[in-house]
C-alpha cells in the first residue's frame, strides 16, 4: 500500500506530523534534498536566518515563549559548528529543541570529506541526546524519539544528523504513534511519602521562603505556584530563569535573588528556617558559595524533575523528584486537606523582618540624573507596554536591569540566556518569539556590544516583516566587564571600551528599519510610545546611557548571599 518516500520527504512528513509550523534554518550541500522537499509543501514554513547560530536561538525563543518544541535545520560542517553556541545555550537552560543537521554521505563519513565534521561528537556534551541516522528505515522513528526526548522529563535540545545519501534513499513511511524506550522513563509524579514530609515541614515553618526557578516555567506551573504562595502567605523569590513564574507585582514577591538579586530576597534566603526550592538548582550565580549559604539551622525541600540536580551543590532534607506542576498539584491538595495552618504569629514576625530588608530600597538609582539612566529606560518600557510585552535580552548589565526593573507577571514573557550567558541571543530569540506570538509586542533589551554579535539578523527581520522593538542601552562599554574591572581589577578597563561603534540609526535604516537615537531622560517615554505605535515596523532605539552606572546589589563571585555590595 505505502508508496516509498525519500529520506528528505520523510523528514518533512515527520515535522508535519509533529505539528511543526515554523523551522529556522540555512541551506547547504548536505541538506539540499531536504530543502527541495520543503519547497514542495507549505505546511512547514521555513525562516531563512543569516547565520546558523541565529537559527538555533530563534528556534529557542520560539520554544521558550510557546512551550512547543523549536526546530532548526542546518547543513553539515560549518553549518553545525555555527549552530553549536545556540545548542549549548538551549542545553544550559533546558529548552526543548530538535536540530536537524545534514551530514556527508554515509560512504564518505570518516574520510575527511568536504564539509565533514563529527557532528555527534562535537555536540555530545551540549545536547540532551543526539543521533546519526545511517539507515533510512530508522529515520522516522528517530525523529519521533527526538521530539519525545526533547519535550519530556527535563527538556533539552536533541540533534538528528542525517547523511545526504539517507535523505535521498527511499523506504516505506509510517510515522510511529508513540515510542517506547527501555532506557528512558521520565518521571512526572513525585513520591507521595516525600510530599507528605514536605507538608509537615511547611506547616511547622516559622521563617519560610519559597525559591522558584526556571523549572516552574518549563513545566507550566506558574498557576500552581501562585496558588501555593498565596494560600500559605509565604515570601517568594524567583531566579533569573524563573521570572514570571510568580507575579512580580504580588505583595509576596520579594524580587529576584542571586548575584544581582534584591537585598530582601537574598537576606530572606539566608535567614529562613524552611526553604522550599521549586524547579531551581542552587547554581553559583544564585546562591554564591554554598559554604556561606546558610547562617542558621534550616531544612530544605527541593522539588525537581532531574534527580542529578538534587544535592548537587547543597544537601537537601526532603528531595522530591517529579514534574513541578504535578508535585505542586499534589502538595496543594494535601495542604488543603490539613486543618492546621502555619504559625501565623511567627509568619507575621518574619514578614516584619522581610519588610525591614525591603525598606533598604536596594534598587534605588538617581532618577533626577541629567544623563539617561539605563534603569529608567527599562522602567518606562514596562509602563509603556503595561507589562504585557515579551522581553528578550542579551548578556551584561542591561540583562540584569531588565530582570530587576521589568515586572513580569506572566510566565514565558522573559526570554534570556541565563545558563550559558550568550551575547548575541537577544535579537534572534526575539524573532522566534514573534513567530510564535504574531500578535504580541516583542522587545529586545540589549547592549551595543551584544547586539553586534548577531546584528545580521536585522536582515531576516526585514524579510519577514518582524516588528521588533530593539532597546539598545548604549553605554559605549562592555558594561558588565567594565563593572568587574572597576570592582576587582583596579579600574583597569582592558579591552572593554566599545570603540568605532556604527551609527545604529543609519544601520537600522540601511536594513530598511526605523532608527532612533535618544539622549535625554525626558525623551525616553515619548520615544518608546512612538516606537510601539509603529505596529508593523522594527524600531531600533539607541539610548545613550550613563557610562559609569553599575548593577547593584552585587554579590562578588565566591562570596555568600549576605556579602552583598549595595548602593
Partner 1 sequence: MRHIISLLMENEAGALSRVAGLFSARGYNIESLTVAPTEDPTLSRMTLVTVDSDDVVEQITKQLNKLIEVVKVVDLSDGVHIERELMLVKVRAVDKEREEIKRMVDIFRGRIIDVTDKSYTIELTGTGSKLDAFLDTIERSTILETVRTGASGIGRGERILKA
Ligand X SMILES: Cc1ncc(C[n+]2csc(CCOP(=O)(O)OP(=O)(O)O)c2C)c(N)n1
- 135 φ/ψ angles, rounded to the nearest 5 degrees: -125, 120
Q: Is the distance from CB of 303 to CB of 279 less than 8 angstroms?
A: yes
For the bound state, the minimum distance from the C-beta of residue 530 to partner 1, rounded and expressed in Å, comes to 49
Closest CA to 58 of 468, 480, 360: 468
Q: Which does 394 bind (CB under 5 to 8 A by kind): ligand X, partner 1, none?
A: ligand X
Q: Is the distance from CB of 54 to CB of 105 less than 8 angstroms?
A: no
Left if phi > 0, otherwise alpha if psi is -120 to 50, otherwise beta: which for 112?
left
User: How many CA atoms are closer than 13 Å to the CA of 79, on its beta-carbon side?
Assistant: 26
Cα 470 from Cα 485, distance rounded (Å): 27
Nearer to partner 1, 149 or 395 (CB): 149
Residues 408-447: x/- map of binding to ligand X (CB under 6 A)?
A: -------------xxxx----------------------x
Q: Does 490 bind partner 1 (CB under 8 A)?
A: no
Residues within window 84-143 making contact with partner 1, judged by CB under 8 A? 120-121, 124-125, 128-130, 132
Cα 441 from Cα 406, distance rounded (Å): 14
Select from 104, 377, 449, 471 the one that contacts ligand X (CB under 6 A): 449
Q: Does 241 bind ligand X (CB under 6 A)?
A: no
The residue from 40, 41, 114, 463 that is catalytic is: 114
Residue with cell 544550559: 92
Annotated catalytic, 400?
no
Closest CA to 304 of 222, 149, 156, 188: 188
Residues that contact ligand X, how many (by CB under 6 A): 20
Q: Which does 387 bind (CB under 5 to 8 A by kind): partner 1, ligand X, none?
A: none
User: How many CA atoms are closer than 13 Å to the CA of 418, on its beta-carbon side?
Assistant: 27
Q: Does 184 bind partner 1 (CB under 8 A)?
A: yes
Q: Which does 201 bind (CB under 5 to 8 A by kind): ligand X, partner 1, none?
A: none
Q: Does 306 bind partner 1 (CB under 8 A)?
A: yes
Is 462 buried (19+), middle (13-18) or exposed (0-12) by CB count in 10 A? Answer: middle
The residue from 241, 256, 478, 480 that is catalytic is: 480
Q: How do 45-48 and 22-25 pair as beta strands?
A: parallel
Q: Is the distance from CB of 467 to CB of 537 less than 8 angstroms?
A: yes
For the bound state, the minimum distance from the C-beta of residue 181 to partner 1, rounded and expressed in Å, comes to 7
Q: Does 545 bind ligand X (CB under 6 A)?
A: no
Select from 181, 337, 368, 494 the one that contacts partner 1 (CB under 8 A): 181
Q: Does 163 bind ligand X (CB under 6 A)?
A: no
Select from 2, 3, 182, 386 the one that contacts partner 1 (CB under 8 A): 182
Nearer to partner 1, 121 or 522 (CB): 121
Q: Which does 128 bind (CB under 5 to 8 A by kind): partner 1, ligand X, none?
A: partner 1
Select from 149, 454, 508, 554 the one that contacts partner 1 (CB under 8 A): 149
Q: Which does 480 bind (CB under 5 to 8 A by kind): ligand X, partner 1, none?
A: ligand X
Please tell me what DSSP assigns to residue 439. T
The residue from 128, 144, 145, 164 that is catalytic is: 164
Q: Which does 478 bind (CB under 5 to 8 A by kind): ligand X, partner 1, none?
A: ligand X
Annotated catalytic, 206?
no
Nearer to partner 1, 131 or 350 (CB): 131
Cα 303 from Cα 242, distance rounded (Å): 14
Closest CA to 160 of 106, 116, 95, 97: 97
Stretches 68-76, 124-132, 179-187, 474-482: which one binds ligand X (CB under 6 A)? 474-482
Q: Is the distance from CB of 305 to CB of 322 less than 8 angstroms?
A: yes
Q: Which does 421 bind (CB under 5 to 8 A by kind): partner 1, ligand X, none?
A: ligand X
Q: Is the distance from CB of 136 to CB of 7 less than 8 angstroms?
A: yes
Q: Does 273 bind ligand X (CB under 6 A)?
A: no
Residue 80 makes CB contacts below 8 A (sequence gap 6+) with: 52, 74, 101, 117, 119, 122, 123
Annotated catalytic, 17?
no
User: How many CA atoms are closer than 13 Å to the CA of 508, on its beta-carbon side?
Assistant: 20
Annotated catalytic, 18?
no
The residue from 16, 115, 168, 353 that is catalytic is: 115
Residue 333 makes CB contacts below 8 A (sequence gap 6+) with: none
Q: Which does 398 bind (CB under 5 to 8 A by kind): ligand X, partner 1, none?
A: ligand X
Q: Does 79 bind ligand X (CB under 6 A)?
A: no
The residue from 9, 18, 52, 457 that is catalytic is: 52
Q: Does 385 bind ligand X (CB under 6 A)?
A: no
Cα 258 from Cα 287, distance rounded (Å): 6
For the bound state, the minimum distance from the C-beta of residue 22 to partner 1, rounded and expressed in Å, comes to 26
Closest CA to 432 of 74, 65, 120, 121: 65
Catalytic annotation, residues: 52, 114-115, 164, 480
Q: Which residues bind partner 1 (CB under 8 A)?
A: 120-121, 124-125, 128-130, 132, 149, 181-184, 306-308, 311-312
Q: Which residues bind ligand X (CB under 6 A)?
A: 394-398, 421-424, 447-450, 473, 475, 477-481
Amino acid at each position: 500500500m505505502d508508496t516509498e518516500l525519500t529520506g528528505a520527504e520523510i523528514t518533512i512528513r515527520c515535522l508535519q506530523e509533529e505539528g511543526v509550523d515554523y523551522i529556522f534554518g540555512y541551506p547547504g550541500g548536505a541538506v539540499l534534498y531536504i530543502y527541495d522537499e520543503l519547497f514542495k509543501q507549505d505546511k512547514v514554513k521555513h525562516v531563512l536566518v543569516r547565520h546558523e547560530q541565529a537559527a538555533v536561538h530563534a528556534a529557542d525563543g520560539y520554544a521558550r515563549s510557546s512551550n512547543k518544541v523549536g526546530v532548526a535545520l542546518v547543513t553539515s560542517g560549518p553549518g553545525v559548528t555555527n549552530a553549536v553556541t545556540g545548542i549549548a545555550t538551549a542545553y544550559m537552560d533546558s529548552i526543548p529543541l530538535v536540530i536537524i543537521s545534514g551530514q556527508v554521505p554515509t560512504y564518505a563519513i570518516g574520510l575527511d570529506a568536504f564539509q565533514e565534521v563529527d557532528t555527534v561528537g562535537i555536540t555530545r556534551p551540549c545536547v540532551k541526546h543526539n543521533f546519526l541516522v545511517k539507515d533510512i528505515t530508522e529515520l522516522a522513528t528517530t525523529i519521533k524519539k527526538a521530539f519525545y526526548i526533547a519535550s519530556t522529563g527535563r527538556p533539552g535540545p536533541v540533534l538528528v544528523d542525517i547523511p545526504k545519501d539517507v535523505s535521498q534513499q527511499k523506504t516505506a513511511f509510517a510515522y510511529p504513534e508513540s515510542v517506547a524506550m527501555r532506557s528512558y522513563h521520565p518521571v512526572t509524579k513525585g513520591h507521595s511519602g516525600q510530599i507528605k514530609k514536605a507538608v509537615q515541614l511547611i506547616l511547622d515553618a516559622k521563617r519560610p521562603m519559597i525559591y522558584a526557578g526556571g523549572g516552574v516555567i518549563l513545566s507550566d506551573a506558574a498557576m500552581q505556584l501562585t496558588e501555593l504562595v498565596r494560600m500559605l502567605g509565604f515570601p517568594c523569590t524567583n531566579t533569573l530563569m524563573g521570572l514570571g513564574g510568580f507575579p512580580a507585582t504580588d505583595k509576596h514577591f520579594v524580587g529576584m535573588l542571586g548575584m544581582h538579586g534584591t537585598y530582601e530576597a537574598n537576606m530572606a534566603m539566608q535567614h529562613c528556617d524552611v526553604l522550599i526550592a521549586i524547579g531551581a538548582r542552587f547554581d553559583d550565580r544564585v546562591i554564591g558559595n554554598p559554604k556561606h549559604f546558610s547562617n542558621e539551622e534550616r531544612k530544605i525541600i527541593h522539588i525537581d524533575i532531574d534527580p542529578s540536580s538534587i544535592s548537587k551543590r547543597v544537601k537537601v532534607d526532603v528531595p522530591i523528584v517529579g514534574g513541578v506542576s504535578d508535585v505542586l498539584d499534589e502538595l496543594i491538595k494535601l495542604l488543603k486537606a490539613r486543618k492546621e495552618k502555619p504559625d501565623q504569629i511567627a509568619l507575621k514576625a518574619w514578614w516584619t523582618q522581610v519588610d525591614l530588608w525591603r525598606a533598604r530600597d536596594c534598587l534605588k538609582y538617581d532618577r533626577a540624573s541629567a544623563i539617561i539612566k539605563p534603569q529608567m529606560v527599562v522602567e518606562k518600557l514596562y509602563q509603556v507596554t503595561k507589562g504585557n510585552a515579551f522581553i528578550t535580552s542579551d548578556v551584561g548589565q542591561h540583562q540584569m536591569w531588565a530582570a530587576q526593573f521589568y515586572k513580569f507577571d506572566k510566565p514565558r514573557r522573559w526570554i534570556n540566556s541565563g545558563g550559558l550567558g550568550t551575547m548575541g541571543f537577544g535579537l534572534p530569540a526575539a524573532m522566534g518569539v514573534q513567530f510564535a506570538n504574531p500578535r504580541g509586542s516583542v522587545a529586545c533589551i540589549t547592549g551595543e556590544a551584544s547586539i553586534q554579535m548577531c546584528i545580521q539578523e536585522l536582515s531576516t527581520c526585514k524579510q519577514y516583516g518582524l516588528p521588533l522593538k530593539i532597546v539598545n542601552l548604549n553605554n559605549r562599554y562592555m558594561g558588565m566587564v567594565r563593572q568587574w574591572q572597576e570592582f576587582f581589577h583596579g579600574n583597569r578597563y582592558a579591552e572593554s571600551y566599545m570603540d568605532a561603534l556604527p551609527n545604529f540609526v543609519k544601520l537600522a535604516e540601511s536594513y530598511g528599519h526605523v532608527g532612533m537615537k535618544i539622549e535625554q531622560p525626558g525623551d525616553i517615554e515619548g520615544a518608546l510610545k512612538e516606537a510601539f505605535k509603529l505596529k508593523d515596523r522594527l524600531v531600533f532605539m539607541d539610548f545613550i546611557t550613563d557610562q559609569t552606572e553599575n548593577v547593584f546589589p552585587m554579590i562578588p563571585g565566591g562570596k555568600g548571599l549576605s556579602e552583598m555590595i549595595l548602593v
